[in-house]
Chain A
Amino acid sequence: MVLLKISNLKKSFQGNEIALRDVSLTIENQEVIALLGLSGSGKSTLLRCINRLTEPDSGSIKLENLEITNLNKRELRKVRAKMGMIFQEFNLVNRLTVLENVLSGTLGVTSLWRAVTRAFPPNDIFRALELCERVGISSQVEKRADQLSGGQRQRVGIARALMQNPTLLLVDEPTSSLDPKIGREVMTLMCEVARERDIPLLFSVHDISLAKDFSQRIIGLKEGEKIFDKKTSSLDDKSLEQIYKIESGNSLLTSESVN
């Protein structure tokens, strides 16, 4: 069954800056997909259109055959609850504890009263603690989020996304705020938990070696256009150069600087 089907997605921002031109793609089963492209190529916009944090101009997005682009607010919230998102800047609520941040993954299906009084169902609390253990932060659950290191914070971000019991993980530059070693650890963890749950993981990334090492499929974006969508093993220098070539043509990135 097709999990996610995007067709002819278009988005431009005010000032006529075109972010996405006619992007179509399909995700069918569990796989790790890297979104490659220069800054401003539309990677983040594509990810954010999928859960409509950014409203697309036209085109269609179907999650499990449900058209997302024309949902009303209530229906949209239901769909958002099914998609876990992980952010470059972690986006935790700093003054709350790690456990509260992980539990915030259930807020799409929790009542206002339960959220304010922190009266989460015991089952959710149990699951949150389990997830903290899985991502390796179980000794930190009562600490405030701003007391953690960058790598630990991203682990909290992963646990929060998993708390949603998502059918899909959307990940925006997960390692850009981390040092290379910690970044790789976080990537490894994310791919593991996605495989354990049999859910696809779509992540945008600058670092080509990360894309090569962790993904099974690569989607290349250039100036809002999808110009590459193949298995990672078939990514060669020529296609890389295409993805990273500047339109005017005079400032080619050499394969050396790209790697």
Chain B
Amino acid sequence: MIQKMAGHINNPLRKRNVIIPRYIAYGIILVIILGMSAHLIVFGTDWKRMSSINEVFETLFSFFPNLKFIPEIAGPLFETTLMAFWGTLLAVILSIPISYLAATTTTPSMLITFPLGRAFIVLSRSTHEIIFALIFVVALGLGPLPGILALACRSVGFMSKTTAEAIEACNQGAIEAIKSTGARKLVQFFFAVVPQVFPIFLGNAIFQFDINIRRAAILGMVGAGGIGLHFSEQMKAYNYDNAGACVFAVVILVILGEVISNRIRTKLIAG
């Protein structure tokens, strides 16, 4: 209903009785957040143990990368990259059957296989890679293999979720046309669904590889291989400049990974 009031129209998108309570609510939420943050930061920090501002900066600068240390960690860096590669590949392979189960349009049974597929996804996505790594280190011992498995478990959820969504967003008409030729379900899937999903799938796999380089870099801290082990060793030995070199090397590796994966992804989308 349009209400005309003395020369102007009440804006129906900004009704007074709606907007005033809304801004009051925003205000209350802001005060609560600020109060909690003050409690956390102002009262939660040990100000007495913190030294003078100069000393703080001095400590921070002691992390300045010691570039001479980098040749020593070239091997672990390469190991980190390889861990990311195999972890991603494993996740990519596992995500094919899981996404088939977790997509409403392809799952054989909404009662059994669909919840199963979704359960894998939720489990994978809600658990941190460090937790997976800890579990696999306990089960398999130290080394890159538990790291690879941890990365695979962590990425398979994202890969399966995005792939299942891509499957659901497919042109259903094309699938139906293939169905009408008498093709069975798996043939329909590989001939009508896979070609539609493949570019998205490949793009996401490369994206995951990029992220997994980052994840792989810290797994060594819990004994699951790669550069992380050297970082924590140098930290424990108070060799902050060497620890800084580890961080610096990982940053370079991640940037390289991102540049390369972006290039490949742009090409894929264009082609």
Contacts and interface: CB of A to CB of B under 8 A. Distances in A.
A1 interface: no
Interface residues on B, range: 20 to 34
Contact of A93 (B174, B184, B187, B199): B174
A66 interface: no
Interface string A102-126: 0011111110100110000000000
Q: Max chain B CB contacts within 10 Å: which of A87, A93, A94?
A: A93
Given A93-B196, A94-B171, A95-B196, A107 B182 contact: yes
Given A110-B187, A112-B190, A116-B190, A92 B177 contact: yes
Interface string B161-202: 000000000010110111111111011101110011011000
B181 A91 contact: no
A91 B182 contact: no
A195 interface: no
A31 interface: no
A160 B181 CA distance: 9
Contacts of B186: 112
A89 interface: yes
Contacts, number: 85
Interface of B is mostly: helix
Interface in B35-74: none
Contacts of A112: 184, 186-187, 190
Contact of B176 (A53, A73, A105, A116): A53
A93 B178 contact: yes
B179 A78 contact: no
Nearest to A163: B181
A106 B182 CA distance: 9
Nearest to A170: B180
Given A93-B195, A112-B186, A115-B187, A104 B181 contact: yes
B141 to A, nearest CB: 39
A157 B171 CA distance: 15
B182 A96 contact: no
B180 A83 contact: yes
A107 B191 contact: yes
A93 B182 contact: no
A174 to B, nearest CB: 13
Nearest to B179: A53
A79 interface: yes
A77 interface: yes
A80 B180 CA distance: 6
Interface of B: 171, 173-174, 176-184, 186-188, 190-192, 195-196, 198-199
Would you list the 9 A-B pairs with minimal beta carbon distance, nearest first?
A108-B182, A81-B182, A107-B183, A91-B177, A91-B173, A80-B182, A77-B182, A85-B180, A95-B195
